[in-house]
Amino acid sequence: MYSLDSTIFYFLFNIGHKLGADWLFVFFASYLPYLIVIAFLYLLYKKEGVREKIYLSGFTLISLVLSRGIITETIRYFFPRIRPFIALGLTPMLVDKAASFPSGHATFFFALAFCTFLINKKWGWIMTGAATITTVARVVAGVHWPSDIVGGAIIAGLVFAAMYYWILPPKKIQPPQDKQETLLPNA
């Protein structure tokens, strides 16, 4: 009897192979991530205010290092999970032999998408959609179980939420008021 994870995996994997568009799923899984990073850097570049750019860069970097570099790799070290194409003896569209759970791509790109919301909400949704497409394509390609993707997204969301509430977002810098204006009573 298959688990829910296996059932969803086979459904997505079979759809991908029946469509005969392996190149499209390889593009989404391997090359769309570069476009996501370029889009984020462009949005960050367009942001006004040097202090805010530095703050958002630091916030994003810390989020990525914590979620992808530390938490994901710690889980993988202590609880290694075999990739679906190895476990099921399938031919994948991509080859990745590191531990499967949680998905490093999902963790990284969902963390990046959540940080994009601090820059622009509309683009935050676009980046979340792009992260979803990238990570689902990795399931179709045979290198991840669906739960790997969900686990990565949850880790990214929890790290982002913790950082957002512990390291408060920057307050908008108010232009200094003229000293004489503050000394005069309101008439």
Let me know if residue 183 belongs to a domain: no
| CB-CB neighbours of 45 under 10 Å | 8
Written as six digits, the tokens of 74 are: 């710690």
Q: What is the DSSP string of 30-96?
A: IIHHHHHHHHHHHHHHHSS-HHHHHHHHHHHHHHHIIIIIIIIHHHHHHS----HHHHHT---SS--
Q: Could you tell me how many residues make up the chain?
A: 187
Name the DSSP class of 185.
P
Q: Residue 81 sits in which domain range?
A: 12-171
Among the ranges given (71-75, 89-93, 96-100, 122-126), the one the predictor scored with the smallest mean pLDDT: 89-93
CATH number at residue 40: 1.20.144.10
pTM score, whole prediction: 0.80
**Peptide bond before 102: cis, by omega within 30 degrees of 0?**
yes
Question: Is residue 12 a contact partner of residue 140, using CB atoms and an 8 Å limit?
Answer: yes
Closest CA to 111 of 58, 159, 146, 163: 159
Let me know if residue 2 belongs to a domain: no
| Packed helices 121-140 and 146-166: angle between N→C axes, nearest 10 degrees | 150
Let me know if residue 185 belongs to a domain: no
Let me know if residue 150 belongs to a domain: yes
Quick: pLDDT tens for 132-174: 999 999 888 888 889 999 999 999 999 999 888 887 655 543 4
Q: What is the mean pLDDT of residues 92-117?
A: 87
Quick: pLDDT tens for 26-70: 888 888 999 999 999 998 888 888 888 888 888 899 999 999 999
**What's the chain's average pLDDT?**
82
Let me know if residue 114 belongs to a domain: yes
Let me know if residue 44 belongs to a domain: yes
Let me know if residue 16 belongs to a domain: yes
Tell me the three state secondary structure of residue 3. coil
Let me know if residue 3 belongs to a domain: no
The letter for the amino acid at 87 is A
Of 18-27, 108-117, 174-183, where does the model show the most confidence? 108-117
Question: Is residue 116 a contact partner of residue 56, using CB atoms and an 8 Å limit?
Answer: no
Q: How many domains does the chain have?
A: 1
